[in-house]
Structure 1
Amino acid sequence: MELEGQTAIVTGGGRGIGRATCLALARKGANIIVTARSQDEIEEVRKMVEDMGSKSLAVAADLREESDIRSMVTKSIEHFGTIDILVNNAGVAVRKPLTETSAEEYDTVMDVNVRGMFLCMKYVLPHMLREGRGKVINVSSGAGKSGIRQLAVYSASKFAVIGLTESVAQEVSGKIGVHAVCPGSVDTDMYRSLYPDEASLRPEDVAARIVELCLPGSGTASGSCVTVYGNG
């Protein structure tokens, strides 16, 4: 129970990598704030976490809305008193040629994948800095390291995640660990909506790597991008 007494926020926690991460962190003893837009999904995960013996809070929030993020962070502090871990996992994607991608689709992808992550860090980091400790894990993608055809906007957003991670890690150097995780294809609803082929990773594979980065004594350098690729 290496994370007993610590509190983690997981965005996009209602399904896929987010849900698997909530459960994996709970197994290590962490309190979990589950946040996503769907109240039903996050309540289901909250109950799963509590059934495992950890404390949990479900907070519905749309990461496109700054007021929702501020409220989510405030509720988390009021309920648990501290935020020790932030997992920025929520993300959306559009698969189509750039010339067929609308400005509205571009805005949605960037608002959730980049702006939402920026705002979560903006409002959580001051609490971590006051405590002098914390871990931030930003979920990027293999598409954030190498552009992929018909995923131009998604790739751009995930490249931005790595840039945010590297820059923020320098700003909080020595106090807070900030990492990006770059998975390959993961068997999630989002991936299945984009591609018909079988993914090479399970959400649990990515969650396990995220938990490793959150554990005390993790030897991975802050600011680094950790790849998680399967054999497929």
Structure 2
Amino acid sequence: MELENKTAIVTGGSRGIGKATCIALAEKGANIVVTARSRDEIDEVRNMVEDMGRESIAITANLRERSNVENMVEKAIDHFGAIDILVNNAGVAVKKPLVETSVEEFDTVMDVNVRGLFLCTRYVLPHMLERGHGTIVNVSSGAGKTGIGQLSVYSASKFAVIGLTESVAQEVSGKVGVYAVCPGGVDTDMYRSLYHNIPSLKPEDVAANIVKLCLPDSGTASGSCVTVYS
């Protein structure tokens, strides 16, 4: 298996794209650190990974809090000895016109989608650089490449994800691969909370593209943003 003996952290790993990514990485042999805010849900995913013969730990964390992120990274390294892959997947969205969006809603979206990603990368990246290798995949969105009405704050946060991806990729060129994945509408709980239709794109489709970027022979240039629309 291409990722045997590798360890991956997946944020927002309790459902949707995160859960599918945990399973897809485990299928390639990776051990999984699954993290989200819901203990019951991450325990369920951990059990699924362990049933596949992989090792897994579940860590509850509020990614908006620096101490939570530091603790998560320390526990992952203490348990597995290394972190080879980080998938920054956790995200939230608000669907309403900008003039109806509260400051609190803006702060929540930016804190989870941007600050959380920054903190996870900030505390995992030095470990990867010390070891001389690693892969970071940031889940952005098609809304991070083209603004979408009533998703202004979400779009802004996902544009920021792409900017962070491209900038960090330049900073660590040749040492750690840093990528963004930009899916269209995906059949997840978050999407269904915003829209009434059911998109054809499934979490497993996005997870498959994330895994490809984590493989040793991915062949994709660091800093790339991979679109997933079908």
Regarding TM over 0.5, the answer is: yes
Give the aligned partner of residue 69 of structure 1.
69
Give the aligned partner of residue 198 of structure 2.
198
| Pairing 1:160–2:160 present | yes
Map of 1:63-212 to 2, 5 A cutoff?
63-212=63-212
Give the aligned partner of residue 217 of structure 1.
217
| CA deviation profile, 1:106-139 (whole Å, cap 9, x unmatched) | 0000000000000000000010001100000000
Give the aligned partner of residue 227 of structure 1.
227
Aligned residue type for 1:181: V
SS in 2 for 1:112: helix
SS in 2 for 1:69: helix
Map of 1:40-79 to 2, 5 A cutoff?
40-79=40-79
Size of the aligned set, in residue pairs, is 230
Q: Is the contact made by 1:8 and 1:31 (CA closer than 8 Å) also made in structure 2?
A: yes
Task: For residue 197 of structure 1, report the CA deviation from its aligned partner.
Answer: 1.0
Aligned residue type for 1:163: G
Task: For residue 184 of structure 1, report the CA deviation from its aligned partner.
Answer: 0.4
SS in 2 for 1:208: helix
User: In structure 1, how many angstroms separate the alpha carbons of the residues matched to 2:69 and 2:181?
Assistant: 22
Task: For residue 200 of structure 1, report the CA deviation from its aligned partner.
Answer: 2.5
Task: For residue 72 of structure 1, report the CA deviation from its aligned partner.
Answer: 0.1
- Structure 2, unmatched stretches of 5+, are none
Give the aligned partner of residue 15 of structure 1.
15
SS in 1 for 2:109: helix
User: In structure 2, how many angstroms separate the alpha carbons of the residues matched to 1:210 and 1:103?
Assistant: 32
User: In structure 1, how many angstroms separate the alpha carbons of the residues matched to 2:5 and 2:63?
Assistant: 26
SS in 2 for 1:182: strand
TM-score w.r.t. the length of structure 1 is 0.99
- Structure 1, unmatched stretches of 5+, are none
| CA deviation profile, 1:122-166 (whole Å, cap 9, x unmatched) | 000010001100000000000000000000000000000000000
| CA deviation profile, 1:55-101 (whole Å, cap 9, x unmatched) | 00000000111110000000000000000000000000000000000
Instruction: State, as a whole percentage, how many aligned pairs show the same letter.
Output: 77
Give the aligned partner of residue 39 of structure 1.
39
Q: Is the contact made by 1:200 and 1:229 (CA closer than 8 Å) also made in structure 2?
A: no
User: In structure 1, how many angstroms separate the alpha carbons of the residues matched to 2:139 and 2:28?
Assistant: 20
Aligned residue type for 1:92: V
Aligned residue type for 1:228: V
User: In structure 1, how many angstroms separate the alpha carbons of the residues matched to 2:38 and 2:62?
Assistant: 9
Task: For residue 198 of structure 1, report the CA deviation from its aligned partner.
Answer: 1.6
- Aligned-CA RMSD value: 0.4
Q: Is the contact made by 1:4 and 1:30 (CA closer than 8 Å) also made in structure 2?
A: yes
User: In structure 2, how many angstroms separate the alpha carbons of the residues matched to 1:179 and 1:154?
Assistant: 19
